[in-house]
Amino acid sequence: MCGRYVVATPFQQMALDFGAATEVEFAAHYNLAPTACVPVLWQRAEDDGALRLDVARWGLVPYWAKDPGIGVRAFNARMETADQKPMFRTAFVRRRCLLPADGYYEWRKGEGKTKQPMFIHSQDGAQLAFAGLYERWKDAEGRSLWSVSILTGPAAGDELAAIHDRMPLTVARDRIELWLDPELRDAERVRSLLDLDSVPAWTARAVGPAVGNVRNNTAELIAPLVADAENPAGGRETTGVQAREISGVQALF
């Protein structure tokens, strides 16, 4: 599963890299967690099908939900069953998106109850495009909440499987146009666009325990874990800072 990830690439650079228009700003964030606003690349009917880079709330709220709180547990969707589950099936065939990312965190089990946080990213440092689904929910006053979920699949390769049995799935750059196409509605064809064999592209490194606190949000969170004389096991804790707010953007708009 993917429950924390990193977006460090400048927002305007992201828009340029993907060839997308944008009118919002997003500060670098090293500890994104469910219910936060996150960058999303999509082609919505509301934008006349134009490719746009916007923000949405992480945790999918289907249009039929009575309460948006349902999205708290829907931040991931299993690739194998997304087209069957009521929560995700409409979005899987009609409302797909991408979530740009620079890597994600997972916790590797150690001895007893100990867990080691790991930062997982592409070997060449390239920005990733997590496969996602999106929905639009409206409240009683007609205000819209746009929300997203990240598709996951079995971990690719022994290294990642040793950390966790699931991982966020990505979409290769040459498949992005098809992935975002709302006219593509065949579930098996959609599934075939996902990158299910990305063993050579991923690498993982141990990082410090500060990432466990969602209030911490600095580049130090992704720094390699190193041992020192005071702490031979490594993992010197860092205080971090309060998570930055997204400039001029709200999740509900």
What Å distances lie between residue 98 and 70, 115, 120, 147, 240, CA to CA?
21, 29, 18, 12, 28
From the candidates 2, 37, 97, 135, give the one annotated as an active-site residue. Answer: 2
Residue 121 carries which side chain, given as an amino acid letter?
Answer: H
- Bridge partners (DSSP) listed for residue 170: 130, 195
Task: Respond yes or no: is residue 97 known to be catalytic.
Answer: no
Distance, in Å, from the CA atom of 81 to the CA atom of 17, rounded to the nearest integer, reads 31
Using alpha carbons, select from 25, 11, 187, 32 the residue that is nearest to residue 96: 187
Do the beta carbons of residue 91 and residue 111 sit within 8 Å? no
Token digits of residue 74: 């829907």
Task: Respond yes or no: is residue 111 known to be catalytic.
Answer: no
Token digits of residue 151: 């598709």
From the candidates 80, 106, 183, 245, give the one annotated as an active-site residue. Answer: 106
Task: Give the active site residues.
Answer: 2, 106
